[in-house]
Amino acid sequence: MFKMLFFKSIVVLTSYFTTAFLSLALAQHLGLQYRNFYKLKNRSLVGNVTDTKKVKDYFECPFLCLERGPSACLSFNVGKTTNNGYYTCELSNSERYLDPHRMQQRASYDYYGMTTESLFSLLDLPCTSSPCNYGGTCIHGPRLGEFSCQCGVEITILPFIDDKCNVETNDLVIETSNQGVFHAAIGVYRLNFNDARRLCEILGATQATYNQLKAAWEAGLQRCAFGWLADGTARFPMRTASPGCGNYIGIVGSSTPINKKHQVQRLVLQGVTR
């Protein structure tokens, strides 16, 4: 019964293997790793061959690769013509992404490598664990296990303190949100508009609009401190009159953009992707 299922599934796979993308869902039934392969015509990865096999049907090659496991096979080269009725299958313990300089033109072979998603998942490469913080982008290095963080634009008063894009958070204050709008500040009135926008980005948020601030105010938000909004205005929400805040009630502040070099605390909208 198992044998029949195995060969029946292989027949189904033949129509996919001849295309540029191969999905080996059968591997799940066999207790093997699930992998997706892509195809490069007339190319081969050389210098990392761990085994060479003769196969009757060239679609047997991916199953040989799965059986060997990732330590012995991450990709393979397949001969395009037969020799005495057999195709040549070359198993490699590397992949084009890991050793791009080993790729060569080879008219009689096609190369099958793992998609980056499958490769990173299988090898547990460092970027899969998101090691770069505060908006940093993880970039895989030229060697397996190596990576670097691209941290982006630095905030003047909140510089990055290491190569993982970490910042000193002792002076960073983030208050609870209302209708998705929350208040964040570094000290008192130390952020200009551009630094405020950048701080929003590294917190995974965007600056609030006037309408978003108004909705939060209507829901109960009150804060006696100016904050930057997305349109360049500086405002704050008050629900009850306070002598220290001018005895105003409503959305208080400038109705036109002000000098963006001025230093003001600001409000941001929580949870909006960049």
Q: Per residue in 155-173, pLDDT tens?
A: 888 899 999 999 988 888 8
Per-residue pLDDT at 11: 25
Angstrom distance (rounded) from CA 188 to CA 89: 67
Per-residue pLDDT at 144: 63
Angstrom distance (rounded) from CA 177 to CA 221: 8
pLDDT band of 264, cuts 50, 70, 90? low
Sign of CA dihedral 95, 81, 26, 40: positive
Amino acid at 193: F
Q: What is the pTM of this model?
A: 0.53
Q: What is the mean pLDDT of residues 191-211?
A: 89
pLDDT at 212 over 70: yes
Tokens 């992998």 -> residue? 35
pLDDT at 184 over 80: yes
% of the chain with per-residue pLDDT over 70:
78
For 6-49, write each residue's pLDDT tens digit. 322 222 233 333 333 444 444 444 444 567 889 999 999 998 89
Pairing verdict, β 266-269 and 206-207:
antiparallel
Most confidently predicted of 35-39, 87-91, 169-173, 188-192? 87-91
141 vs 64, more confident: 64
Q: What is the mean pLDDT of residues 253-273?
A: 61
